[in-house]
Amino acid sequence: MTFVDGPVTVRVPASSANLGPGFDALGLALTLHDTLTAQVVDEGLDVHVTGEGKDGVPLDETHLVVEAMHAAFDLLGGRPSGLRLTCTNQIPHGRGLGSSAAAIVGGIVLARALVEGGELLLDDAAAYQLAVDLEGHPDNVAAALFGGLTIAWIDGAAAEVERLETGVEVTVFVPPAAVSTAKARGLLPESVPHADAARNAGRAALLISALTGAPHRLISATEDWIHQGYRSEAMPESYKLLRKLRVEGIPAIISGAGPTVLVFARGVADRAPAGWTVHELQVDAGGAEIVRDDA
């Protein structure tokens, strides 16, 4: 196995999962990015982080990007003796915008690009499977890797994905405090009423139509009965904003495990509570991409 000379840079998008009724299945790549640059060096590990999360992440082998790179190198045939990694982060941590998925996907794509012929040794399907294995669920990593609107699922142990085009514009309201995914998942019940599951299934199907050609259906299509309400105690301000927006007829959802509120609309930034950050975004169609010097 031969490593390439010089640095390689990958840009990987944020993602929103669930999108209301599509729990653990639907994902949307967003135009908010982490930019990761890595280079094989003679020895050691040198990690630098700027931007979001810079004061809260480890700078050693336990950094999530490094862990993902090492896992990919193992599949590709072996780890290099040294690495230099720089992460320039725009994706907020612990806010339901796929920061861990971006780190995992970015690390895998970086490692593959640092190996001569890496895309032949580890194609997109294999990279996706590895990302799902590391993340534990497929929704965010599918969107981060492939871009656009994704439907992700597991057949046996195999990770599958269907990618769709959508031109929807979104606004995200990011609160100042994080909520851990583990805490948010811990609030979910072991089972939900059959009627709620049936309603969610219908709305998830409607949501695909709404996002790909019938946007006037978004307020109905984004209704959820199986996860957002159960998590409200962990993010009361987010849930309050969510209900306020929906009462006004604005299609709003909790992004991923929260607490970010995502709205399928523009011109609503003035609804943000004090201290929250607002981003007006589009769908990232490309997913994780290598940044070329001549780009």
Contact 33, 12 (CB under 8 A): yes
In the block, which residue shows the tokens 């895998």? 108
Side by side, the strands of the sheet bearing 277-282 are 252-254, 261-263, 169-174, 277-282
Kindly provide the residue ranges of all beta strands, DSSP E only, lying in the chain, ordered along the sequence. 8-18, 22-41, 44-51, 82-89, 149-155, 158-164, 169-174, 252-254, 261-263, 277-282, 289-290
In the block, which residue shows the tokens 């959508």? 166
Count of residues for the chain?
A: 295
Contact 31, 16 (CB under 8 A): no
Nearest Cα to Cα of residue 140 among 182, 180, 105, 91: 105
Say if residue 102 carries a ligand binding annotation: yes
Say if residue 97 carries a ligand binding annotation: yes
Instruction: Say whether the peptide bond before residue 259 is cis (omega within 30 degrees of 0).
Output: yes
Say if residue 101 carries a ligand binding annotation: yes
Contact 217, 210 (CB under 8 A): yes
Say if residue 99 carries a ligand binding annotation: yes
118-121 contacts, C-beta under 8 A, 24 or more apart: 118/76, 121/75, 121/76, 121/77
Query: What span, in angstroms and rounded, lies between the C-alpha atoms of 91 and 35?
Result: 10
Contact 45, 83 (CB under 8 A): yes
Contact 166, 145 (CB under 8 A): no
Say if residue 92 carries a ligand binding annotation: yes
Say if residue 258 carries a ligand binding annotation: no
Query: What span, in angstroms and rounded, lies between the C-alpha atoms of 130 and 124?
Result: 10
Binding residues: 92-102
Binding residues for ATP: 92-102
